[in-house]
A = this chain, B = another copy of it.
Amino acid sequence: MATHKLLLLPGDGIGPEVMREVEKIVGWFRKRGVGFETETDLVGGSAYDAHGASISEDAMKLAQAADAVLFGAVGGAKWDSVPYAVRPEAGLLRLRKDLGLFANLRPAICYPALADASSLKREVVEGLDIMIVRELTGGVYFGEPKEIVTLEDGSQRAVDTQIYHTHEVERIARVAFDLARKRRNKVSSAEKFNVMKTGVFWRQVVGRIHKNEFSDVELENVLADNCAMQLVRYPKQFDVIVTDNLFGDILSDIAAMLTGSLGMLPSASLGAEDPATGRRKALYEPVHGSAPDIAGKGLANPIAMIGSFGMALRYSFGLLDEADRLDRAIASVLASGTRTKDIAAPGANAVGTQDVGDAIVKEL
């Protein structure tokens, strides 16, 4: 029986407490004979506090060797003034870049039981099921120059650079079209081609891949600002949205917030398939952040983190039955009303982080 190597990087804020619940689930599967080997390390502010870097070289080695990385969350006001190069987010960005995790899959699903938790009208979001495919290793996140320069007169100039290469846009487009084929067969590609050259380029390359390889899939080009509007107005018009790193950051957060289920949404960041082994590097993380305001209080909803492990079962280990089983367990716990404060029904008692994890294990 194969052993799957998992690296757990709980990070900051509520990261550790939601990761603890995942460990219970991993433990349950292990007892039932699924071979998981886990290691745990620091990332983000907690790594900075321990050794002055937001991820250590040792942790990077573990990440490179792992079959999948489970990532909690990083950041918090506590580290707002640490040097830029070692800020908590740098650890996450390095993981994405060094592991080549170019494809970030962010499903935005509105669970019927939670539709009322949305700030949008029930009929606008009920049954919503969008997949945002965000390019994750290029664009303005990594382009150079990226600097603040002091000029002769003492004033300053800051610069960031958005760069995209043909192969970067091609491969993310393929991921989006592939996914659409398994869903409702529609891709909306978002950019600002009316203002940005990378937008013109994005539209050209996506259009070419569509024409040559995926002409059976419906493709729609949409301006990123209009896409944000349309997400608010009538989100069910979308199936798969593919977009660059920065627009993806914002659009996926909007989509997640629409659902009323922010504490429920997992994400997967995938690398290219190794042609020799057929395996791809992968990192799984909840869409929500480190929520320092509620950290350590046992209030956090662990379902996004547990669901991220479910995505790992599915995408990294091909354990589809196990993934389905976990999804069903989550669904029945939700249906039973065992919910954290963020998603508790009006008037119902909210339970703690651990209660949800325990209930899911019991349900399994």
A224 to B124 alpha-carbon distance, docked (Å): 24
Asked if B162 contacts A166 (CB within 8 A), the reply is: no
A253 to B89 alpha-carbon distance, docked (Å): 28
| A215-244 interface bits toward B, Cβ cutoff 8 Å, 1 = contact, 0 = none | 000000000111011001110000000000
Asked if B162 contacts A159 (CB within 8 A), the reply is: yes
Asked if A225 contacts B249 (CB within 8 A), the reply is: yes
A141 is an interface residue with CB less than 8 A from chain B: yes
A1 is an interface residue with CB less than 8 A from chain B: no
Chain B residues, CB < 8 A from A246: 192
A159 to B159 alpha-carbon distance, docked (Å): 13
Known: A155-B165, A156-B165, A165-B155. A194 touches B254 (CB 8 A): no
Name A232's closest neighbour in chain B (CB-CB): B257
A205 to chain B, nearest CB (A): 8
Chain B residues, CB < 8 A from A283: none
Asked if A229 contacts B201 (CB within 8 A), the reply is: no
Name A89's closest neighbour in chain B (CB-CB): B194
A158 is an interface residue with CB less than 8 A from chain B: yes
A196 to B157 alpha-carbon distance, docked (Å): 13
Which of A143-151, A177-185, A272-280 sits within the interface? A143-151
How many of chain A's residues touch chain B, expressed as a range? 35 or more
Asked if B157 contacts A165 (CB within 8 A), the reply is: yes
Q: Which chain A residues in 90-125 approach chain B with CB under 8 Å?
A: 93, 119-121, 124
Chain B residues, CB < 8 A from A2: none
A197 is an interface residue with CB less than 8 A from chain B: yes
- Most B CB atoms within 10 A — which of A164, A195, A228, A246? A195
| Residue among B160, B196, B200, B226 making CB contact with A197, cutoff 8 Å | B160
A40 is an interface residue with CB less than 8 A from chain B: no
Asked if B158 contacts A200 (CB within 8 A), the reply is: yes
Chain B residues, CB < 8 A from A198: 158-160
A313 is an interface residue with CB less than 8 A from chain B: no
Asked if A200 contacts B119 (CB within 8 A), the reply is: no
A319 is an interface residue with CB less than 8 A from chain B: no
Chain B residues, CB < 8 A from A158: 163-164, 197-198, 200-202
A256 is an interface residue with CB less than 8 A from chain B: yes
A262 to B196 alpha-carbon distance, docked (Å): 25
A61 is an interface residue with CB less than 8 A from chain B: no
A246 to B148 alpha-carbon distance, docked (Å): 19
| Residue among B75, B148, B195 making CB contact with A201, cutoff 8 Å | B148
A92 to chain B, nearest CB (A): 9
Known: A84-B200, A161-B161, A162-B159. A75 touches B194 (CB 8 A): yes
| Residue among B121, B200, B232, B289 making CB contact with A232, cutoff 8 Å | B232
A161 to B141 alpha-carbon distance, docked (Å): 12
A167 is an interface residue with CB less than 8 A from chain B: yes
Chain B residues, CB < 8 A from A233: 119, 257
Known: A141-B195, A257-B232. A155 touches B166 (CB 8 A): yes
Known: A148-B200, A249-B225, A250-B225. A234 touches B162 (CB 8 A): no
15 contacts between A and B (CB under 8 A): A89-B195, A121-B121, A140-B196, A148-B200, A156-B201, A158-B164, A158-B200, A159-B163, A159-B197, A192-B246, A228-B253, A229-B257, A232-B257, A232-B258, A233-B257
